């Protein structure tokens, strides 16, 4: 198959491109100069020219707090460009998988969110991603929308690497303990995307690692597992705090656990526990840093 991956330098996009290439597919990874997501015409022309069998849209404006002031940019990338991609894919008879987020929910539930639960984003970022889903579905009803959460990976900036950096400097950590979610390795998301494409899936799916934890609990696990692997961990103090003690411009869902029952049932997809995937990622990161 001919696979075009947008956002191929990001955490998920890089892993997606890697997995499809490993399986022998022709993978196209246009950069910003070749595919400018801020320019709708550019998006349409590029997608039509490439005529890929599948487009995997991993590109997104993900600066959650900055989106509160960079509203136009967030909506242009997350809504308008997503819609333009879907329209272009539909015009050339291709298929699309669009990556979305737990931020489309308000986090007020006390049980995992299913695909058909009511959405109610709390932030500009969340609103822009929800409207992106709606634009994609309107232009290409058969598109796949894959929601995930709490993404981390060997590449790019993420919570795991931030914790390792601060802990390596010996600085004390204060981490929010009243926001709960499922930390998810970008590699696992990529494998799920490959499975969805190979199964010729359509519709909305949720995928995260199994289990849930607070950011504080996640931070504790990162430092513990990293120290066991051999990382230089100099921080001994990790203090749990409330969201109110760490105010941010954007409001975040307090409960971001997604129900993955649908994707497991339809595709017999085993989902690793979040801590098992964390250990695997840390081992890979450790080898990368030592090589």
Read out DSSP for 173-206? EEEE-S-EE--EEHHHHHHHHHHHHHTT--EEEE
- Residue pair 136/96 in contact by the 8 Å Cβ criterion: yes
Phi-psi region of 211 (alpha: psi -120 to 50; beta: other; left: phi over 0): left
Strand spans (E) along the chain: 2-6, 26-28, 54-57, 95-101, 144-148, 151-152, 173-176, 180-181, 184-185, 203-206, 213-214, 238-241
Sign of CA dihedral 187, 188, 189, 191: positive
DSSP 3-state of 235: coil
Strand spans (E) along 208-263: 213-214, 238-241
291 Cβ neighbours under 8 A, 6+ residues apart = none
DSSP 3-state of 45: helix
- Residue pair 104/129 in contact by the 8 Å Cβ criterion: yes
End-to-end CA distance of the chain: 33
Question: Would you name the residues annotated as active-site residues?
Answer: 125
- Residue pair 129/62 in contact by the 8 Å Cβ criterion: no
The token pair at 180 is 């709960």
Cα distance between residue 111 and residue 259, in whole Å: 8
């Amino acid at each position: 198959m001919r696979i075009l991956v947008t956002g191929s330098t990001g955490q998920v996009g890089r892993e997606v491109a890697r997995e499809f290439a490993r399986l022998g597919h022709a993978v196209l990874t246009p950069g910003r100069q070749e595919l400018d997501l801020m320019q709708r015409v550019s998006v349409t022309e590029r997608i039509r020219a490439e005529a890929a069998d599948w487009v995997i849209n991993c590109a997104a404006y993900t600066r959650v707090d900055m989106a509160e002031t960079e509203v136009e940019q967030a909506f242009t990338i997350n809504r308008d460009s997503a819609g333009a991609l879907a329209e272009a894919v539909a015009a050339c008879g291709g298929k699309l998988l669009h990556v979305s987020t737990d931020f489309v929910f308000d986090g007020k539930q006390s049980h995992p969110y299913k695909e058909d639960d009511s959405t109610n984003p709390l932030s500009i970022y969340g609103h822009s991603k929800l409207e992106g889903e709606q634009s994609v579905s309107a232009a290409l009803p058969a598109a796949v929308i894959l929601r995930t959460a709490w993404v981390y990976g060997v590449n790019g900036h993420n919570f795991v690497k931030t914790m390792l950096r601060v802990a390596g400097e010996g600085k004390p950590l204060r981490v929010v303990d009243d926001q709960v979610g499922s930390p998810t390795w970008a590699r696992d998301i990529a494998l799920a995307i490959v499975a969805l494409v190979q199964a010729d899936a359509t519709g909305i799916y949720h995928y995260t690692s199994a289990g849930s934890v607070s950011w504080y609990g996640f931070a504790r696990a990162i430092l513990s597992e990293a120290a066991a692997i051999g990382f230089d961990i100099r921080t001994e103090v990790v203090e749990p705090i409330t969201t109110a003690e760490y105010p941010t411009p954007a409001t975040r869902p307090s409960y971001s656990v997604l129900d993955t029952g649908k994707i497991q049932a339809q595709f017999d997809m085993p989902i690793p526990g979040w801590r098992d995937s964390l250990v695997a990622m840390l081992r890979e990161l450790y080898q990368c840093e030592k090589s």
